[in-house]
């Protein structure tokens, strides 16, 4: 892959030239979804223009071209997260879909009354609700690892929660609401000492950190393409081969079978067994292009750049009267969550929008976390590879204007 210069990368994202309310756009809502480079937009359009056909079935040339593009992208995903085999990469709709697949297809068939599943207080709703649903159906119990006031995972409390009834641990690699990077190696080692598999929610981590699923030794890893400069509607479930083989498919249909009769159906091999129906082929092609793009810049360089922006933003907002940074973990990636005393986060978001600055305001799909931290919601600026020091300076100036306007 040819190396690309990070400083030039902003020009690769056409939407960043859009003006909002007559102002240049400072897009700081990347934890919700990232913008797409021309390379991704063009790859999807090129697929539809030159290679569109269904995969895995036609004998004709276009179908072969489409299948090569689809399976080629699976191979790129394997390399990107260093999985052991292409068949360990299952294409799904996104992180939510991946977690639900594990909850329904892996955990639920094995859960009995009194079993336990562990999540943490940092989780996004999509890493809470699927486990709640499975536990409710099986009569199992959801256990929650507490955090401290900085938003750090409590390893001691976690170690004490693991026991002979624990069937799975599901935790986020990186908190979408606070930016906390969890000590996932320790979390996994402790679970494995009890023979318990671990699912990591990698929705946020993949765009900020190098991820090596074999070095982590995680059992499942879930992420969405759209937070990694790729298309919406497509994501990945990585699973160790033995776990994926042990899973019950949740969806039946074309492609996931080897043979069908009205009496019985024999399922296909991995990964197809867990990919029923025509997949989002163009989305997979776009994801492959996004991975090529990110690799051409280098995920370490992207992470270092975002950390620099985070440090600059943190330094500049510290000392603004009434501003509280929510989430002050020692290990943190490109997310700045904050509140302003006496000002609703939505008012902050609306006023920043008037200045052309896009942030997220609210509970960030993490209501239990907000409750733990004693806030209804926060304002959140989240950084991506194309953000600049100018974006940060505009953010800080706009926050100061919010204070001056709404407190006067
Ligand atoms: N987990 C985390 C940590 C997230 O940030 C998100 C997206 N906000 C999700 C899960 C869900 O991802 P998706 O909506 O793409 O399925």
Q: What is the rounded CA–CA span in Å between residue 11 and residue 207?
A: 19
pLDDT-based confidence at residue 7 (cuts at 50, 70, 90): confident
Instruction: Tell the residue nearest (CA) to atom 12 of ligand 1.
Output: 95
Q: Ligand 1 pocket, 96 CB below 6 A?
A: yes
Q: Ligand 1 pocket, 268 CB below 6 A?
A: no
pLDDT-based confidence at residue 407 (cuts at 50, 70, 90): confident
Q: Ligand 1 pocket, 176 CB below 6 A?
A: yes
The pLDDT tens digits for 265-287 are 999 999 999 999 999 999 999 99
pLDDT-based confidence at residue 165 (cuts at 50, 70, 90): very high
The pLDDT tens digits for 67-104 are 999 999 999 999 999 999 999 999 999 999 999 999 99
Share of the chain above pLDDT 90, in %: 96
Instruction: Tell the residue nearest (CA) to atom 14 of ligand 1.
Output: 96
Q: Ligand 1 pocket, 172 CB below 6 A?
A: yes
Tell me the mean pLDDT in the region 384-397. Answer: 98
Of all atoms in ligand 1, which is nearest to the CA of residue 232? 15
Q: What is the mean pLDDT of the chain?
A: 97
Tell me the mean pLDDT in the region 3-14. Answer: 91
Please give the distance, rounded to the nearest whole angstrom, from the Cα atom of residue 225 to the centre of ligand 1. Answer: 10
Tell me the mean pLDDT in the region 328-338. Answer: 97
Of all atoms in ligand 1, which is nearest to the CA of residue 174? 3
What was the pLDDT predicted at 230?
98
Range with lowest mean pLDDT among 48-62, 94-108, 182-196, 211-225: 48-62
pLDDT-based confidence at residue 205 (cuts at 50, 70, 90): very high
What was the pLDDT predicted at 145?
98
What was the pLDDT predicted at 5?
87
What are the catalytic residues? 365
Q: Ligand 1 pocket, 116 CB below 6 A?
A: no
Please give the distance, rounded to the nearest whole angstrom, from the Cα atom of residue 172 to the centre of ligand 1. Answer: 10
Instruction: Tell the residue nearest (CA) to atom 2 of ligand 1.
Output: 203
Of all atoms in ligand 1, which is nearest to the CA of residue 32? 8
What was the pLDDT predicted at 125?
98
Q: Ligand 1 pocket, 370 CB below 6 A?
A: no
Which of 93, 176, 225 maximizes ligand 1 atoms within 8 Å of its Cβ, making it the mutation to test the pocket?
A: 176
Of all atoms in ligand 1, which is nearest to the CA of residue 98? 16
Q: Ligand 1 pocket, 182 CB below 6 A?
A: no
Is the predicted pLDDT of residue 207 greater than 90, yes or no? yes
Tell me the mean pLDDT in the region 246-261. Answer: 94
Q: What is the rounded CA–CA span in Å between residue 153 and residue 171?
A: 10
What was the pLDDT predicted at 1?
64
Is the predicted pLDDT of residue 256 greater than 90, yes or no? yes
Is the predicted pLDDT of residue 408 greater than 80, yes or no? no
The residue among 357 and 58 whose pLDDT is bigger is 357
Is the predicted pLDDT of residue 300 greater than 80, yes or no? yes
Of all atoms in ligand 1, which is nearest to the CA of residue 226? 15
Please give the distance, rounded to the nearest whole angstrom, from the Cα atom of residue 171 to the centre of ligand 1. Answer: 12
Please give the distance, rounded to the nearest whole angstrom, from the Cα atom of residue 154 to the centre of ligand 1. Answer: 22
């Amino acid at each position: 892959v040819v190396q690309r210069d990070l400083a030039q990368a902003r020009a690769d994202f056409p939407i960043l030239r859009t003006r909002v309310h007559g102002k240049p756009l400072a897009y700081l809502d990347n934890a919700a979804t990232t913008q797409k480079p021309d390379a991704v937009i063009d790859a999807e359009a090129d697929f539809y223009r030159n290679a569109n056909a269904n995969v895995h079935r036609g004998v004709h040339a276009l179908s072969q071209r489409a299948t090569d593009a689809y399976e080629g992208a699976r191979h790129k995903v394997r390399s990107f997260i260093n999985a052991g085999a292409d068949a360990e990469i299952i294409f799904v709709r996104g992180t939510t879909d991946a977690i639900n697949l594990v909850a329904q297809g892996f955990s639920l068939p094995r859960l009995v009354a009194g079993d336990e599943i562990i999540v943490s207080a940092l989780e996004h709703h999509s890493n809470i609700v699927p486990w709640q649903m499975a536990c409710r159906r099986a009569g199992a119990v959801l256990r929650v690892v507490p955090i401290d006031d900085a938003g750090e995972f409590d390893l001691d409390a976690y170690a004490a929660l693991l026991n002979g009834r624990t069937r799975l641990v599901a935790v986020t690699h990186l908190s979408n609401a606070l930016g906390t990077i969890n000590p996932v190696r320790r979390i996994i080692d402790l679970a494995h000492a009890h023979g318990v598999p671990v699912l990591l929610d990698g929705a946020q981590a993949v765009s900020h950190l190098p991820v090596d699923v074999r070095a982590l030794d995680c059992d499942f890893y879930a992420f969405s393409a759209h937070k990694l400069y790729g298309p919406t509607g497509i994501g990945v479930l990585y699973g160790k081969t033995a776990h994926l083989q042990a899973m019950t498919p949740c969806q039946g249909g074309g492609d996931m079978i080897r043979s069908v009769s009205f009496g019985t159906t024999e399922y296909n091999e991995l990964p197809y067994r867990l990919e029923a129906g025509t997949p989002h082929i163009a989305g997979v092609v776009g994801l492959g292009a996004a991975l090529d793009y990110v690799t051409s810049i280098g995920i370490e360089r992207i992470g270092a750049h975002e950390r620099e922006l985070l440090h600059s933003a943190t330094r500049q907002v510290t000392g603004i009267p009434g501003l509280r940074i929510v989430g002050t973990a020692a290990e943190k990636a490109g997310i700045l969550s904050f509140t302003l005393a006496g000002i609703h986060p939505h008012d902050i978001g609306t006023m920043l929008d008037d200045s052309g600055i896009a942030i997220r305001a609210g509970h960030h799909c993490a209501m239990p976390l907000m409750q733990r931290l004693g806030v209804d919601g926060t304002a959140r600026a989240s950084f991506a590879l194309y953000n600049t020091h100018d974006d940060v300076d505009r953010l800080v100036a706009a926050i100061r204007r919010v204070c001056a306007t709404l407190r006067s």
